[in-house]
Amino acid sequence: MGVARTQSVALQGLSGAMVDVEASITAGLPMFKLIGLPDTSLAEATHRVLAAASNSGCSLAQSRVTANLSPATLPKYGSVFDLGIALATMAAAGSVSPRSIATTVHLGELGLDGRVRPVLGILPAVHAAAAAGARRVMVPVGNLAEARLVPGVDVIPVSSLREAAIRHGGDFTPVEVDPILAAPVAPRAIDELDLADVIGNHDAVRALIIAAAGGHHVYFLGPPGAGKTMLAERLPSLLPDLDEEAALEATSIRSLTELGSVSELVRRPPYESPHHTASAAALVGGGSSRIRPGAAVRATHGVLFLDEAPEFQPKALDALRQPLESGVITISRASQQSRFPAEFQLVLAANPCPCGLFGVASSECTCNPGRRRAYLNRLSGPLMDRIDLQLAVDRLAPAQLLAAGEAPRLTSAQGRQQVETARAVARERFAGTGWRLNGRTPSNWFTEGPGRLPKRVTAALERHYQTHAMTMRGYVRVLRVAWTLADLDGATSPGAEHVGGAIALREGRPA
């Protein structure tokens, strides 16, 4: 009887902190006390551990057990600590080797029958353990493929507490059990959509390629049936595959939000399209005892599409303003703070009025001017100031539709080739800076640094800035788009025509 220690991981956002799991067995009335700032689901671990240990042949019901999760000031939640608590307690009771568990990080939830259940967030947890110097991690069998995505770590899969105890030197007879496996994560059908499905709308297609090449945000305004949703759904097909760092981050987010079998890194950019009834917490994340990421976080390194954007709550839309600038979402609560990546491309789509028929030929709009203004004003000025490309999309007339249907159309593969070529130019330009996209480069690079353009090139923008009440943010965003236009054209730097095209795109006119 004594004290035994092992380790586990507490996640805060995508970052993880190592937690020492200590267990002490002392004389006294039988009880099991868990301390160390656990939440409700974690506090219930005492009942799961007692039942699992008893059904694994090591009853702890007649012992006085104190389990501590240290540091005590760090909030901890979830059932991922169950396996560590159980093995530390069994080591304190002399049933397994204290030295063996001390050199292993344990992650997993226990069932009452002693089986180990898969949990959310295994990938970021194992990655955090590896970053902290851990070299051996024990996980549920259902999380094995996901845990092995982290290099340099010896991953030990277990299907039951008895098997885990045997791995740590416990004198138990092996008993074969059916492991609890996680359901495979279903593939996303959005990857199958091709830009060649879009008939006509050449200006909007060009805007998508510009957005993909520079990482810019897009706003489509047009009546129902103009193809706004079709265009937005095909933006991910124009984006290149994710590199190793981005793929690991995107997969970690999926691991944190979807309980499923993730066997390989996410290579294609994610796509999120929440319903317009979504709250601010659903968009950016929230929660009380446990902070969960929202759609903007799940869209990291991909696309967040808000269809019928004026129908969203203004509070929810304005919650996106900060991550659009910083690429990060920080959610604070009284006892904890979680930080999530949020480098997504925002695509907004809106009808011109509540009935959607304003400006449509051969249709009569029933909305008065005041109602139309109020409808579009639900998209606040500060939010729209962060949108680089603002384009009007019209329905095609029958004759235009027939003519466009016979014309050759750009495929997603062809468009992605243009995007990859332009991005390669930008990467070479930003080599050694840590930046890769024009849309994510700090503003001072364009106004004071190497990207500052001569007056003769920016003359039109200077006039526009003075006469159209443009903000400095809008000024810089025009310059970012101008550099992307130059990259697509193969120019070494933007000319006056590229700056003029960027101004036109911001004003809703084709470049």
Please name the residues in contact with 364: beta carbons below 8 A apart, sequence gap of 6 or more: 357
pLDDT more than 90, % of the chain: 77
Contact 206, 511 (CB under 8 A): yes
Contact 218, 388 (CB under 8 A): yes
**Quick one: pLDDT band at residue 404, thresholds 50, 70, 90?**
low
Query: Does position 322 have pLDDT exceeding 90, yes or no?
Result: yes
Find the range with the poorest average confidence among 10-14, 105-109, 273-277, 396-400. Answer: 396-400
> How far apart, in Å, are the Cα atoms of 150 and each of 41, 138, 143, 266, 300?
27, 13, 12, 13, 20
Query: Does position 396 have pLDDT exceeding 90, yes or no?
Result: no
- Residue ranges covered by each domain of the chain: 2-168, 195-428, 442-510
CA 233 to chain centre: 17
Tell how strand 218-221 and strand 345-350 pair up: parallel
Secondary element (H or E) of residue 481 = helix 472-489
Residue entry with tokens 């070299």:
135
Round to whole Å and give the CA distance between 356 and 96.
Answer: 69
Please name the residues in contact with 144: beta carbons below 8 A apart, sequence gap of 6 or more: 155, 157
Angle between helix 202-214 and 412-429 (nearest 10): 40
E strands, 94-235, are 105-106, 109-110, 116-117, 136-140, 154-158, 218-221
Tell how strand 345-350 and strand 31-35 pair up: unpaired
**Quick one: pLDDT band at residue 185, thresholds 50, 70, 90?**
low
Check for a shared fold between 2-168 and 195-428.
no
- Token digits of residue 135: 């070299």
Nearest in space to 23 (alpha carbons), one of 40, 47, 7, 43: 7
Q: Give me the phi and psi of 298, to 5 degrees please.
A: -65, -20
State residue 61's pLDDT score.
76
pLDDT more than 70, % of the chain: 95
Question: What does the angle CA 231 – CA 321 – CA 448 come to, to the nearest 5 degrees?
Answer: 95
Give me the mean pLDDT over the 106-132 stretch: 96
Query: Does position 370 have pLDDT exceeding 60, yes or no?
Result: yes
Contact 270, 343 (CB under 8 A): no
- Token digits of residue 12: 């805060």
Round to whole Å and give the CA distance between 89 and 96.
Answer: 9
Give me the mean pLDDT over the 115-137 stretch: 96
> How far apart, in Å, are the Cα atoms of 337 and each of 11, 14, 282?
11, 11, 17
The pLDDT tens digits for 481-509 are: 999 999 999 999 999 999 999 999 998 76
Round to whole Å and give the CA distance between 328 and 300.
Answer: 10
CA 200 to chain centre: 32
The pLDDT tens digits for 44-80 are: 999 999 999 999 888 887 889 999 999 998 889 889 9
State residue 163's pLDDT score.
97
Nearest in space to 243 (alpha carbons), one of 487, 432, 480, 427: 427
State residue 187's pLDDT score.
55
Average of per-residue pLDDT values in the chain: 92
Nearest in space to 307 (alpha carbons), one of 279, 343, 347, 349: 349
Q: Which CATH architecture has domain 2-168?
A: 2-Layer Sandwich (3.30)
Query: Does position 228 have pLDDT exceeding 80, yes or no?
Result: yes
Higher pLDDT, 155 or 261: 155
Convert 235-266 into a string of H (helix), E (strand) and C (coil). HHHHCCCCCHHHHHHHHHHHHHHCCCECCCCC
Q: Residue 425: helix, strand or coil by DSSP? A: helix
The pLDDT tens digits for 456-480 are: 999 999 999 988 889 999 999 999 9
Contact 310, 379 (CB under 8 A): yes
Higher pLDDT, 401 or 45: 45
Round to whole Å and give the CA distance between 427 and 429.
Answer: 5
CA 288 to chain centre: 20
The pLDDT tens digits for 74-104 are: 889 889 999 999 999 999 999 999 999 999 9
Q: Residue 499: helix, strand or coil by DSSP? A: helix
Rg (CA), the chain: 28
Find the range with the poorest average confidence among 187-191, 192-196, 231-235, 477-481. Answer: 187-191
Query: Does position 171 have pLDDT exceeding 80, yes or no?
Result: yes
Concatenate the DSSP letters of all residues of 38-92 into one string: B-HHHHTHHHHHHHHHHHTT---TTSEEEEEEESTTS-B-SSTTHHHHHHHHHHH
**CATH number of 195-428, picked from 3.40.50.300, 3.30.450.40, 3.90.78.10, 1.10.260.40:** 3.40.50.300
Round to whole Å and give the CA distance between 169 and 99.
Answer: 10
State residue 290's pLDDT score.
78
What number of other Cβ atoms are within 10 A of residue 336's Cβ?
19
Q: Give me the phi and psi of 18, to 5 degrees please.
A: -70, 140
Query: Does position 406 have pLDDT exceeding 80, yes or no?
Result: no
